């Protein structure tokens, strides 16, 4: 291996190690910032080394792509509120998958032009097919996920009749086109003597070559023509009877022959794009974060496939890490919701919502409202308070007001802890990120398994903008309940529960919550931030 190549590989290895250490750091909030930084340094090393390597397009193209893409990305990320993060992640991730599909398509076209024909190996063509298939699915699937989360498309599952049959057919078509492409593009090597080349140069089709084609299972028609592309080096054989063209190139004492058209590849990309839409359209908005994580894993796989096409080890490692991390996160999220991935992806959960009559049955005359002053009195007398945040805290950006409330309660000798449900909010770690932003110590954030046994010894639970994650209906095994079997925070076991939200509207799962009508529950109606501030003010007055 030449020294230069060895140095590039060494830097790629360093980048891969930085990615892995960075990813490990992301597994805990305390090390997450450093982990993120290390992974970013790894990416910088990978980019600089790739740019310094000689097989790249012009720097003008790279810099313009960097400026345009970077600018658009920065504007989109700055303009998106925290609550819109899932759809921002979805669309960025989709672009990654789309970029992989287009980049392998470009590499294929480039190779077909004959520039690096020797690289058209089975590894090249099959990885190109795989990367393009998965990349196109993740692009259009992510666009649908973005549309649903942004409210541009109906977030309820759209269940087309016969969708499983249609999707299976689309998968088979994609696989068939991929196989066609792999077989058509993989060059057939024929031993070529100078007589054969001379015949081709005279635009005559040598009979030996017909036999060689047939030996490789390619039946030629009677209408063949040969055009000389590059004297004694490259020829184009057109079989007008079968409407097929074969690029023929001299490689040492061999001829390499492959099909000319990239059409099956691009048709496959279009079909895979339709498949991406078809796969995500039947999934409800509440399940979208899981789908986004799955699509994220797909775009990682597409990037890894892209790495195989280009023989670029750092792209293979980075793509595989994204793919594996995405699959692990998807599995953890499904587990936290007590659902199988198949149920999330294929069952169309969420197609029905609670009717007003159903909600009326549960709430009628049983819901008690309280004022900030009354709740402050209740908390003043408590020894232990547990705060359970949910999506509403993110909407209201109430984390700083909650920090003030926590500090005040602690200054009055009340023990305060936070109960964090793994799927509270709209993305994994949503609550942890917001509370960390407000400098609430990690030690106070207790995961579900840790906090649940302590609710019976808790005087007051303050539920702030959470709904589904504290809904006792989840304990029900009835499969018509979308959150049936999902482990919840058992806040109803505490002596008193105060729920801060603006109304009795359902949460993301679209079902009523019997907790609001429980004997030990009080509703504090209003915006989460406003109510946390009012509670602090009322506590100060006591
Ligand atoms: P939720 O069930 O969606 O309920 C959020 C509640 O917040 C709503 O009922 C809403 O009631 C209230 N709210 C909204 N804006 C508010 C504001 N400004 N002030 C006060 N309250 C406000 O939320 P959750 O309990 O956090 O549950 C998360 C849901 O998302 C679960 O169904 C979960 O399965 C799903 N999910 C999450 C993830 C994830 O990664 N985190 C992944 C997949 C699915 P009002 O309108 O009455 O105020």
Q: List pLDDT tens digits, range 89-102.
A: 899 999 999 999 99
The 3-state DSSP class for residue 221 equals: coil
* Mode of pairing for the β-strands spanning 460-464 and 496-501: parallel
pTM of the model as a whole:
0.75
Mean model confidence pLDDT for the chain? 87
The stretch 158-185 carries a mean pLDDT of 88
Q: What is the pLDDT of residue 117?
A: 52
From the CB of 427, is ligand 1 less than 6 Å away?
yes
Q: What is the pLDDT of residue 304?
A: 95
Under the banding of pLDDT at 50, 70 and 90, the label for residue 391 is very high
From the CB of 516, is ligand 1 less than 6 Å away?
no
Under the banding of pLDDT at 50, 70 and 90, the label for residue 54 is low
Residue 89 vs residue 227, higher pLDDT: 89
Taking Cα atoms as reference points, which of 322, 275, 54 lies closest to residue 164?
275
Given a cut of 70, is residue 482 above it in pLDDT?
A: yes
For residues 320 and 172, give the distance between their C-alpha atoms in angstroms, rounded to a whole number.
25
Given a cut of 60, is residue 116 above it in pLDDT?
A: no
The stretch 520-542 carries a mean pLDDT of 96
From the CB of 285, is ligand 1 less than 6 Å away?
no
Exactly one of 199, 239, 468, 492 is catalytic; which is it? Answer: 468
Most confident of 144-158, 364-378, 424-438: 364-378
Least confident of 150-164, 173-187, 232-246, 473-487: 232-246
From the CB of 527, is ligand 1 less than 6 Å away?
yes
Under the banding of pLDDT at 50, 70 and 90, the label for residue 336 is confident
Determine the longest span between alpha carbons in the chain, in angstroms.
104
Residue 377's H or E segment, with its range, is helix 372-380
- Tokens 């808790």 map to which residue? 458
DSSP notation for 106-121: HHHHHHHTTTTGGG--
Taking Cα atoms as reference points, which of 127, 77, 73 lies closest to residue 100?
127
- The listed CATH number (1.10.3720.10, 3.40.50.2300, 3.90.1560.10, 3.40.50.1220) that belongs to domain 356-541: 3.40.50.1220
Q: How many CB atoms lie within 10 A of CB 175?
A: 13
Nearest-atom index, ligand 1, CA of 336? 34
Nearest-atom index, ligand 1, CA of 505? 47
Q: What is the pLDDT of residue 231?
A: 64
CA of 519 to the centre of ligand 1 (A): 23
Q: What is the pLDDT of residue 271?
A: 97
- CATH 3.40.50.1220 residue ranges of the chain are 356-541
Taking Cα atoms as reference points, which of 379, 402, 391 lies closest to residue 494?
379
Given a cut of 70, is residue 62 above it in pLDDT?
A: yes
CB 234 within 8 A of CB 248: yes
CA of 286 to the centre of ligand 1 (A): 10
CB 539 within 8 A of CB 499: no
CA of 523 to the centre of ligand 1 (A): 16
CA of 178 to the centre of ligand 1 (A): 42
From the CB of 530, is ligand 1 less than 6 Å away?
no
From the CB of 467, is ligand 1 less than 6 Å away?
yes
Q: Which residues neighbour 300 within 8 Å (Cβ) at sequence distance 6 or greater? A: 318, 319, 320, 321, 322, 323, 324, 325, 326
**Where are the extended beta strands (E) located within 149-223?**
188-191
For residues 489 and 492, give the distance between their C-alpha atoms in angstroms, rounded to a whole number.
8
Tokens of 226: 């040969």
Mutate to test the pocket of ligand 1, among 333, 336, 467, 528 (most ligand atoms within 8 A of CB): 467
Measure Cα distances from 30 to 24, 55, 295, 326, 416 in Å. Answer: 12, 40, 27, 21, 21
Given a cut of 60, is residue 291 above it in pLDDT?
A: yes
Q: What is the pLDDT of residue 351?
A: 53
DSSP notation for 314-369: HHHHHHHHHHHHHHHHHHHHHHHTT--HHHHHHS-TTSS---HHHHHHHHTTT--B
From the CB of 423, is ligand 1 less than 6 Å away?
yes
CB 409 within 8 A of CB 537: no
Q: Whose CA is nearest to atom 33 of ligand 1?
A: 423
Q: What is the pLDDT of residue 56?
A: 64
468 assigned to active site: yes
């Amino acid at each position: 291996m030449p020294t230069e190549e060895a140095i590039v590989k060494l830097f790629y290895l360093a980048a891969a190690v930085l990615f892995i250490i960075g990813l490990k750091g992301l597994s805990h909030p305390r090390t997450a910032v450093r982990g993120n930084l290390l992974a970013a340094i790894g990416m910088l090393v990978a980019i600089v080394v790739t740019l310094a390597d000689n097989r790249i397009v012009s720097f003008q193209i790279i810099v313009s792509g960097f400026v345009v893409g970077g600018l658009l990305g920065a504007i989109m990320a700055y303009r998106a509120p925290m609550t819109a993060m899932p759809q921002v992640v979805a669309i960025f991730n989709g672009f990654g998958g789309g970029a992989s599909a287009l980049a392998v398509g470009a590499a294929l076209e480039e190779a077909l032009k004959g520039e690096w024909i020797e690289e058209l190996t089975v590894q090249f063509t099959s990885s190109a097919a795989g990367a393009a298939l998965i990349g196109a699915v993740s692009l259009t699937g992510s666009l649908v996920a973005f549309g649903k989360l942004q409210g541009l498309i109906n977030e309820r599952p759209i269940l087309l009749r016969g969708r499983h049959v249609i999707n299976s057919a689309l998968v088979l078509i994609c696989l068939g086109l991929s196989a066609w492409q792999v077989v058509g593009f993989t060059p057939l090597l024929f031993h070529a003597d100078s007589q054969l080349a001379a015949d081709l140069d005279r635009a005559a089709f040598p009979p030996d070559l017909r036999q060689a084609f047939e030996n490789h299972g390619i039946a030629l028609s009677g209408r063949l023509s040969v055009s000389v592309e590059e004297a004694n080096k490259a020829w184009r054989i057109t079989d007008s009877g079968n409407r097929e063209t074969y690029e023929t190139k001299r490689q040492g004492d061999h001829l390499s022959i492959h099909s000319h058209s990239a059409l099956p590849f691009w048709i496959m990309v279009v079909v895979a794009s339709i498949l991406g839409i078809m796969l995500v359209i039947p999934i409800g908005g509440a399940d979208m974060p899981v789908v986004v994580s799955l699509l994220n894993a797909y775009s990682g796989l597409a990037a890894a496939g892209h790495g195989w096409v280009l023989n670029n080890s750092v792209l293979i490692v980075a793509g595989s890490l994204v793919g594996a991390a995405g699959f692990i996160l998807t599995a953890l999220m499904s587990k936290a919701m007590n659902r199988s991935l198949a149920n999330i992806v294929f069952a169309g959960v969420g197609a029905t919502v609670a009717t007003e009559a159903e909600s009326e049955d549960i709430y009628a005359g049983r819901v008690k409202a309280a004022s900030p002053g009354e709740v402050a009195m209740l908390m003043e007398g408590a020894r232990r308070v547990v705060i359970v945040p949910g999506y509403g805290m993110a909407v209201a950006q109430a984390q700083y007001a909650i920090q003030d409330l926590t500090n005040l309660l602690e200054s009055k000798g009340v023990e305060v802890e936070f109960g964090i449900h793994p799927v509270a909010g709209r993305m994994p770690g949503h609550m942890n990120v917001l509370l960390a932003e407000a400098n609430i110590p990690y030690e106070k954030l207790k995961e579900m398994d840790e906090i649940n046994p302590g609710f019976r010894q808790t005087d007051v639970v303050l539920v702030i903008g959470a709904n589904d994650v504290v809904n006792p209906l989840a304990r029900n095994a009835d499969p018509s309940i979308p959150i049936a079997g999902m482990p919840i925070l058992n806040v109803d076991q505490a002596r008193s529960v105060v729920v801060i939200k603006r109304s009795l509207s359902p949460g993301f799962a679209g079902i009523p919550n019997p907790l609001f009508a429980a004997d030990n529950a009080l509703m504090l109606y209003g915006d989460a931030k406003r109510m946390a501030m009012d509670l602090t003010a009322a506590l100060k007055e006591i």
